[in-house]
Amino acid sequence: MSEVVVIGAGPAGCTLAALLAQRGIACTVFDDDQRPDLLVGESLIPGVVPVFRQLGIEDQVAAMSVRKPGASFFDGADGPRIHFSFTNVADHLPPYAFNTPRPELDNLLRRRAEELGARFLHARAQLEPCERDGQPSVRLSAADRSLLGLSDDAEPFLVDASGRARLLARFLNLPAQRGGRDDVALFAHFVDFTHDEVPEGQVIISLLRAGWSWRIPLPGRLSVGVVLPKDVARSLGATPEERLERILREDPAFGGRGAQARRVTPVMTYTNYQLISKRSHGPGWALLGDAFGFNDPMLSPGLFLSLQGARELDACVFRHGTRLLHQPAALARALDTYNRRMTDWHEAWSELIAYFYDGRIFRMHLAGRHLAEKPSPFKVASHMERHSTRQIASMASGGRTRSGYSRWLIRLLSNHLIWGVPPAENFAVRNTLSA
């Protein structure tokens, strides 16, 4: 009999199921199998590699992926370029990550969870209200309970990992904190798309005339996506294909590199919002992955937060098996800790991502280069520049994202150690084509 039921077989749900199965905890995952053939979430960061190792699948991920040595940030065609290398994090994380076709990665995580003993049920889960421990709560619908063969008094712990469907949050109308962006993303895979002068596998993020773009090298193809304010997207054409192709043709950031390219997939459209739940757990339930919060695709924290979230939930609640599931007060305390940790992760990522949206990252980079080029006693300035680059690379890798020192350092640099460089607005992600 499953003591834990997970709704959603995305990366978050499958990772949690695998971790629980490793502990010998019986777990069933509801999977509605609604996944399209092409999914965003292809660019990973070094912080996910330890989770792959914990699950024993790093070699299989490597075999289906392109090894990612770092990420580069370009301001259009002629503006500054910043190259981050993951070698900067080698003292505390693997110095690489992967670019991975998402459906294959999801399938691998699911297979691994199954091998370890998790059970998957091909069904769309539904909820109904109930009372648990004297408080209003939710449980699976009667139909789903009978699918699982649950007796009347059995109340498995419910984990909502339904992604953007946010099944439980919508059902309970949970409050959420919305961020400032409300964009649309268009993307597709191409062959014969000329990449750029960066190391093989390096991901490129470019500021466009409006919005920004990603270029992610995958085995045999390049994933190209753009993230734009919705009104800008509408002004570019009637269909997603017209809109994406027009940007690739006309935006100087691509410099005609897509001229010979052939699109080999449909153009997919995603809304891109920023939304973090203000409440992530209640009696007998918890939120995980995108169902807990969706940050922003800039810097690719999504998969990391899903996998790390599964690890945090596992560590907080299931460290001693299922004992806490039968102790309501202790369970609530453990879930408070989970909530604090995940809220902290989300806040730290939001803080870091803001530097890339509002242009401070390019400004710091330019100021650092100017300083490093000037003669200084004992090369202090160039040591400082290298040190701050390492801190930022580590934050963007999932290593020191939450570190108080790293966050303090980049606040200090961006507020005070900036001389003789243009204002940050010059390098900000633009929201209109005319700006």
Ligand X SMILES: Cc1cc2nc3c(=O)[nH]c(=O)nc-3n(C[C@H](O)[C@H](O)[C@H](O)COP(=O)(O)OP(=O)(O)OC[C@H]3O[C@@H](n4cnc5c(N)ncnc54)[C@H](O)[C@@H]3O)c2cc1C
Rounded Cα–Cα distance for residues 36 and 47 (Å): 26
- Rounded to the nearest whole angstrom, what is the least distance from the CB of residue 345 to ligand X in the complex? 12
Nearer to ligand X, 184 or 413 (CB): 184
Nearer to ligand X, 294 or 355 (CB): 294
Residue 132 vs residues 14, 74, 137, 142: alpha-carbon distances, Å: 26, 52, 6, 16
Which residues ranging from 27 to 46 are in contact with ligand X (CB under 6 A)? Answer: 30-32, 34-35, 40-44
- Rounded to the nearest whole angstrom, what is the least distance from the CB of residue 255 to ligand X in the complex? 23
- Rounded to the nearest whole angstrom, what is the least distance from the CB of residue 166 to ligand X in the complex? 9
Does position 8 interact with ligand X (CB under 6 A)? The reply is yes
Which residues ranging from 124 to 163 are in contact with ligand X (CB under 6 A)? Answer: 124-125, 161-163
Q: Are 413 and 361 in contact (CB under 8 A)?
A: no
DSSP 306-328: HHHHHHHHHHHHSTTTTGGGG-H
Nearer to ligand X, 291 or 367 (CB): 291
Does position 11 interact with ligand X (CB under 6 A)? The reply is yes
| Binding test (CB under 6 A) with ligand X, winner from 2, 3, 4, 13 | 13
Rounded Cα–Cα distance for residues 188 and 215 (Å): 10
Q: What is the 3-state secondary structure (H, E, C) of 266-304?
A: CCEEEEEEEEEECCCEECCEEECHHHCEECCCCCCCHHH
- Rounded to the nearest whole angstrom, what is the least distance from the CB of residue 376 to ligand X in the complex? 38
| Binding test (CB under 6 A) with ligand X, winner from 169, 185, 247, 395 | 185
Which residues ranging from 204 to 233 are in contact with ligand X (CB under 6 A)? Answer: none
Does position 391 interact with ligand X (CB under 6 A)? The reply is no
- Rounded to the nearest whole angstrom, what is the least distance from the CB of residue 419 to ligand X in the complex? 35
Torsion, CA 390, CA 101, CA 161, CA 304, rounded to 10 = -10
- Rounded to the nearest whole angstrom, what is the least distance from the CB of residue 8 to ligand X in the complex? 3
Collapsing DSSP to helix, strand or coil, 17 comes out as: helix
**280 exposed, middle or buried (CB, 10 Å; 0-12, 13-18, 19+)?**
buried
- State the binding string over 282-321 for ligand X (x if CB under 6 A, else -): -------xx------x--x-xxx-x---------------
- Rounded to the nearest whole angstrom, what is the least distance from the CB of residue 127 to ligand X in the complex? 8
Q: Are 241 and 235 in contact (CB under 8 A)?
A: no
Rounded Cα–Cα distance for residues 199 and 69 (Å): 7
The token pair at 115 is: 């091998």
Q: Which string of b and e fits 142-159 if b means at least 16 CB within 10 Å?
A: eebbeebebeeeebbbbb
| Binding test (CB under 6 A) with ligand X, winner from 4, 5, 6, 7 | 7
Nearer to ligand X, 308 or 414 (CB): 308
Nearer to ligand X, 75 or 290 (CB): 290
Rounded Cα–Cα distance for residues 113 and 401 (Å): 28
Give helix 404-415 / helix 328-357 axis angle, nearest 10°. 30
- State the binding string over 261-280 for ligand X (x if CB under 6 A, else -): ---------x-x--------
Q: Are 283 and 132 in contact (CB under 8 A)?
A: yes
**How many chain residues bind ligand X (CB under 6 A)?**
36
Nearer to ligand X, 40 or 232 (CB): 40
Binding site for ligand X (CB under 6 A): 7-13, 30-32, 34-35, 40-44, 124-125, 161-165, 167, 185, 270, 272, 289-290, 297, 300, 302-304, 306
